[in-house]
Structure 1
Amino acid sequence: HQLASQLLHNKFILVLGDSIQRSVYKDLVLLLQKDRFISAKQLKTKGEMSFENDSLVEGGCQSQMHNGSNYREIRQFQSDHHLVRFYFVTRIYSDYMQSILEDFQRGMKPDVVIVNSCVWDISRYNSRWISDYKDNLEKFFGRLRDIMPEETLIIWNLAMPVGERIRGGFLVPEIEHKAAHLRFDVVEANFYSGTLADEYGLDVLDLHFQFRFSLQHRTNDGVHWNALAHRRITTLLLQHAAQAWGVIWPAPLTSVGDEVSSHTKKGQNRDDRSFDYRYRQSQQAVMRSRNNRKHYAPYTNIKTSKYSHHHYY
């Protein structure tokens, strides 16, 4: 908690993506305030009015709740020294994404952007997804590069492994026939997106690689992940930011302890050594930008900012 809070002191963090990215946002918001794991209920809930002192800015339970591709949810957590914002998106480039980027072009720029969009892109829009996905990635990366200052740390995290069998809200009847081979499509999409992101000078964090032997921490729906997995993701992202800013990371964020048993299923391997989310230099698969970044704090009083996407402050 203290390490995360200090590293992100006076930082504006933007998270863009699907329900996995929402959980990334939630775990980060929780860790900035408390030394505990996020609960399974908190991970599963979407669109609530408030999560751990954040606020629902737009969409969610304020409008119709559904599993469609036009579902909207914007969340924000704000403290004296931290600002974290999340936008739910189901396509990496669309009219909605354009509107988000245009607002950032006019307003306050984030220090860190954590973004991924994959599973919806390759399953819900077009059966021949490859060319569409590539084109949209190029548009998004190019626009993002034009808008964000050089100091902004942009992390494209690759999509995590999906199961052979997928169930739950994501799998609407129209795409049930795609479920069996979706895990292979994700690998292919990750290759395209990771390569393109690197070409545009973005940082790439390969979460598919990181979690390929940790599938026991994926939930029963074949898509989402439990609290231990999300704390590991948070740890990797923070360690990556520390490296990018030249900050020495003195210790793991937390240690694996008794909490493991409360976040594992009955009969699941509970040996600490089977899943260590603490950072290891040799395990991190990151394509790094060649430019050294400076520790950077661009805002001091966000309440007086002229920035307004939907009148947040």
Structure 2
Amino acid sequence: MEIMTCVSHQQASQLLHNKFVVVLGDSIQRSVYKDLVLLLQKEKYLSPRQLKSKGEKNFEQDCLVEGGTFHPMHNGTEYREVRQFQSAHHLVRFYFVTRVYSSYMRSILQDLRRDLKPDVIIFNSCVWDISRYNSSSLENYKENLHTFFAEIREILPKETLVIWNLTMPLGKTIRGGFLVPEIEHKASQLRYDVIDANFFSGTLADAYGMDVLDFHFQFRFSLQHRMGDGVHWNALAHRKITSLLLEHSAQAWGVIMPSPLSGVEHTEVAQLPANGSSKPKGVHRAVRTPKNRYHPPTNNFSNMERHPSRRYYNGYREEFYPDYPPFGFMNIPQPYAYCLPPHLRHGFDYRPPNNKHHQQNVMRSRRARHHYAPYTQLRYGQYGHHGRY
């Protein structure tokens, strides 16, 4: 029996009150978007069908803005899908991308340049980049990362919380929409290429002043939640991802998140007991926490008090492992990183241009941000003509 405590619907709704969130990436990032949209509305997990579906015209009160089923569906690099969820106090948008920088990405950046600036942007692009293009995929990925990070840093205001999340572990045997017959020979090597690409992209994102969340490290001991295709992950894993993202955002904004009202008890039953009273394998049921651990919120959102100190909130038990590497594990001095031998660097140069204030650590898991939109303040005009394309 394993217990997992997640960020609740109420906490997510309050934390992202009057916030605009943008999610960029592939099918896993689409599920990140879907789980966030679902959690903003109810205490419920994604169904297997919702995890597998793509391009549908509606999902939990959101709408398909562009691409998807509006056009013939395919698994090519030109596939497009833009989704958006809008409520009275939340705006969440998703862009499906197959390359970290391309002509299509430039059009997305133009949207961000001229439209409402997001409060949070969550993005990742890797697996398609290093598998579906030419033989110099890793080298091109490096160049595109430099270009993309430089433009993002220029476009977004300093108040925007920019989160680059590293690609999750791939299986030994993988199947997926991106794995067309022409590149099947790369499948066995791809999980190792992802590790290399994760290190370089995480190092570079940190050098450009972005927050980095290492989902590869977080899920290294949670492979039982990976789907049979070796690429995608189940609903429990995606709720953990959402919780990690929201927890990180709360810390960056100096918001203390109390223990949630309820957790989810995930019971793995090898066989039914003799009395036959147990529920079938994989059944989830809500578990109330002790009353002294939860205080109902007031109208001024006092249960999510803003505080200058940043505490680490971790409600996970044995099911998922926290991102607690030994002290100093990733504190690699920057000169060492720049002087890696060529056979380890694969031609990557992590140093951003003209950055005299680069941090000493290769990666950080969180970074403080000025919180400029209090929860009780309505930002007038945010959901007017910017609410849709």
TM-score strictly above 0.5: yes
SS in 1 for 2:163: strand
Does residue 110 (structure 1) correspond to residue 118 (structure 2)? The answer is yes
Q: How far apart, in 1, do the equivalents of 2:191 and 2:51 lie?
A: 22
Identify the residue that residue 158 of structure 1 maps to in structure 2. Answer: 166
User: How many Å apart are 1:180 and its aligned residue?
Assistant: 0.2
SS in 1 for 2:92: strand
Unaligned runs of 5+ in 2: 1-8, 270-279, 285-315, 331-362
Q: How far apart, in 1, do the equivalents of 2:365 and 2:268 lie?
A: 32
User: How many Å apart are 1:36 and its aligned residue?
Assistant: 1.0
One of 29, 35, 42 as aligned partner of 1:27:
35
Q: Is the 8 Å Cα contact of residues 225 and 236 (structure 2) preserved in structure 1? A: yes
SS in 2 for 1:255: strand
Seen in structure 2, the aligned counterparts of structure 1 residues 259 and 69 have a Cα distance that, compared at 3 Å, is: farther
1:1-313 to structure 2, matched below 5 A, reads 1-252=9-260, 254-258=262-266, 274-276=318-320, 280=322, 282=324, 287-288=364-365, 291-296=368-373, 299-305=379-385, 307=386, 312=388
Deviations 1:81-115 (A, max 9, x none): 00000000000000000011012111110000000
User: How much is the aligned-residue C-alpha RMSD, in angstroms?
Assistant: 2.4
TM-score scaled by structure 2?
A: 0.73
Q: How far apart, in 2, do the equivalents of 1:253 and 1:97 lie?
A: 40
TM-score scaled by structure 1?
A: 0.90
User: How many Å apart are 1:30 and its aligned residue?
Assistant: 0.1
Deviations 1:160-200 (A, max 9, x none): 00011012422100110000010000000001100000000
SS in 1 for 2:263: coil
Unaligned runs of 5+ in 1: none
Seen in structure 2, the aligned counterparts of structure 1 residues 36 and 251 have a Cα distance that, compared at 3 Å, is: same
Sequence identity of aligned pairs in percent? 63
Deviations 1:41-86 (A, max 9, x none): 1000000010000000010001110100100000000000000000
Q: How far apart, in 2, do the equivalents of 1:156 and 1:260 lie?
A: 33
Aligned length: 301
Which amino acid is 1:125 matched to?
Answer: Y
Q: Is the 8 Å Cα contact of residues 3 and 253 (structure 1) preserved in structure 2? A: no
User: How many Å apart are 1:253 and its aligned residue?
Assistant: 7.5
Task: Identify the range of structure 1 (282-291 vs 173-182) with the bigger mean alpha-carbon deviation.
Answer: 282-291
Seen in structure 2, the aligned counterparts of structure 1 residues 148 and 260 have a Cα distance that, compared at 3 Å, is: farther
Larger radius of gyration between Structure 1 and Structure 2:
2
Q: How far apart, in 2, do the equivalents of 1:206 and 1:253 lie?
A: 27
Q: How far apart, in 2, do the equivalents of 1:259 and 1:85 lie?
A: 34
Seen in structure 2, the aligned counterparts of structure 1 residues 221 and 290 have a Cα distance that, compared at 3 Å, is: closer
SS in 2 for 1:287: coil
Query: Larger % of helix: which?
Result: 1
SS in 2 for 1:43: helix
SS in 2 for 1:131: helix
Seen in structure 2, the aligned counterparts of structure 1 residues 105 and 224 have a Cα distance that, compared at 3 Å, is: same
Which amino acid is 1:122 matched to?
Answer: I
Q: Is the 8 Å Cα contact of residues 235 and 253 (structure 1) preserved in structure 2? A: no
Seen in structure 2, the aligned counterparts of structure 1 residues 161 and 253 have a Cα distance that, compared at 3 Å, is: farther
Which amino acid is 2:112 matched to?
Answer: F
Q: Is the 8 Å Cα contact of residues 213 and 365 (structure 2) preserved in structure 1? A: no
Q: How far apart, in 2, do the equivalents of 1:24 and 1:64 lie?
A: 24
